[in-house]
Chain A
Amino acid sequence: MKMFTYERVKDYQEAVEKIQKASGQVSVISGGTDFLNNWKDQILTEYPEKILQLDQIEGAAGIKRVKVSAIISQCGSLSQENGTAWQKLTDVSGEEGVSSGVGASDEDAADGWRIGAETRLSELASQNEIPILAEAAGSIANEQIQNQATVAGDLFQDVRCKYYYHFTDFMGGCVTCNRKGGDFCCAMHGESPRHSVFWRYVYTGLTLPAGMSAWHEYPRLYQRNPERKYPEGGTDPA
C-alpha cells in the first residue's frame, strides 16, 4: 500500500492553494469511506500522495430553506446558456448572494432547499420535510457509514463495477480498464452486461445510479479515445 499524508482544511480557498502548490497527486475526500476502500483493496493504478479532507469547512454543511425561484429567474434558461448558467447559479447561491437577499433564508418566501455539500447522510436522512431525499439517504449502507459519508461524496463516488473492483490479491490482478487509463471496458465485453446501469452500449461501465457524477465523467472519457468504435446499436452521448 502506498502511504499518503493527511491534512484537513478549513476553507475552499485554502484547499485550492494547497492543491496548486502540491508536487504529487492530491485527492480530496469528505467522508473518506469510498477512498479508503479503494486504497485498501489496491484496485487503482495511481495513488495520491496527499489527502485533503473538506468535511470541516465552515458553512459547507447543513440544510436550510431558500428562495430558489429568484436564483433561477436570474440565471435564465439553463439549457440556452450552458456552462455560464451553472457558474451564475453557484455565484448567486453562494454566501454573497445570501447577504444581498437573493438566496436569503426567509421562511415566508422560501420555496426550495439548499443542501450543503458536506452534509452528512444521517442528517439528510433525518430531514422529514424532504421525504424522498430522506428515504434515499436513509437506505444507503448502514447507520455507521451514514454518520461519516457526505452528500457530495455520495454523488461523486467511484463507479460500482464488478470488474473495476477486481482485487489485486488473486485471479490475475486488478483490471486496467477504461476508467483507469486503459482502452477497453469489461462491462461491455465481459460475461455480464448487468454491471452497467447507464449507457451500457456506449463505452464505459458507469454503474453508478447517481447520474450527476456519470455526466461529469463523459467529456474526459470522450477526449481519451475520440476515434473509438462503438458496438452495433450504440450511440454517442456527446
Chain B
Amino acid sequence: MEQLNVTINGTEYRFAREGQCALPDTETLRETLHDRVPGIDLKRSCDRGICGNCTVLMNGKPVSACMTLTASCQGADIVTWEGLSPKEKQLCEIFKTNAYFGKHAAYISVRDLVMICIAQFREKGSPARVDFIEALNGNYGHCLDTETILELIGRYEESLVSVQLDGRPISERDDLHLENSGKVGAE
C-alpha cells in the first residue's frame, strides 16, 4: 500500500495514499498539519503565500506551507513553530513581547520572522547582520523595521550567551535582558 512518510517535529507520520481515508492529492501542507497532526495550530491566513503566517522549516529551509502540496513532501523533515527547542522558543517570546509599533502592540503574527531567523541560526551558527537583512527581505509587513528586528535578534543572542555563562535553563528566567544588563552595570 502506497504511503507518504513525513517527519513532523521529530515524529514520523505515515499517511495513506490509497483507500477510504486516503490523503487527497490536492491537500496542501498547511491543511494536513492543521487538520491531521495533533498539537499543531496552523490557521489559514491568506492561503496565497503572501503573509508568511504558515512558514515552516522543510529540510532546514523556510517554506510557505500553504503553497506546498503534501503529496510532494515524501521523506521531508518538517519543523513547525511548536517543534522548536526551548532555546529557540525564547526568540518567539522576545518577538511577541517586543513587537510594538509606537504605543500599540503589533498583534500580528511574527511566525515568519522567527522561523526565518531560526533557519539562519541553524544553518550558519552565528549569522551576520547582512544575512538576516537578506533573508528577511519581503517579510517586512509587520510594522517592524529592520533595526528593531536586528535589535531583538541581538537580545536573543545576549540571552544565549548568559545561559551559557551561568548554566541555568532558559525557562526559569523571567526577564533575561534586564537581568543581564543589570549584571553588566554592577560590574
Contact = CB atoms under 8 A, between A and B. Distances in A.
A155 B47 CA distance: 23
Given A53-B72, A148-B68, A143 B138 contact: yes
Given A3-B26, A4-B25, A142 B67 contact: no
A37 interface: yes
Given A33-B67, A36-B67, A40-B47, A143 B116 contact: yes
A122 B68 CA distance: 16
A3 B25 contact: yes
Interface residues of A, number: 25
A51 interface: yes
A5 B136 CA distance: 34
Contacts of A141: 49, 138
Interface residues on B, range: 20 to 34
A8 to B, nearest CB: 6
B72 A6 contact: yes
Contacts of A6: 25-26, 69, 71-72
A111 to B, nearest CB: 29
Interface in A129-187: 138-139, 141-145, 147-148
A147 B63 contact: yes
Contacts of A142: 52, 112, 137-139
Contacts of A1: 26
Nearest to B134: A138
Given A8-B74, A148-B68, 4 more contacts: A3-B25, A145-B64, A147-B58, A147-B63
Interface of A: 1, 3-6, 8, 32-33, 36-37, 40-41, 51, 53, 55, 122, 138-139, 141-145, 147-148
The 10 A-B pairs with the shortest beta carbon distances in the complex, nearest first, are A142-B138, A6-B25, A144-B64, A6-B71, A147-B61, A33-B67, A144-B62, A144-B63, A147-B63, A142-B139
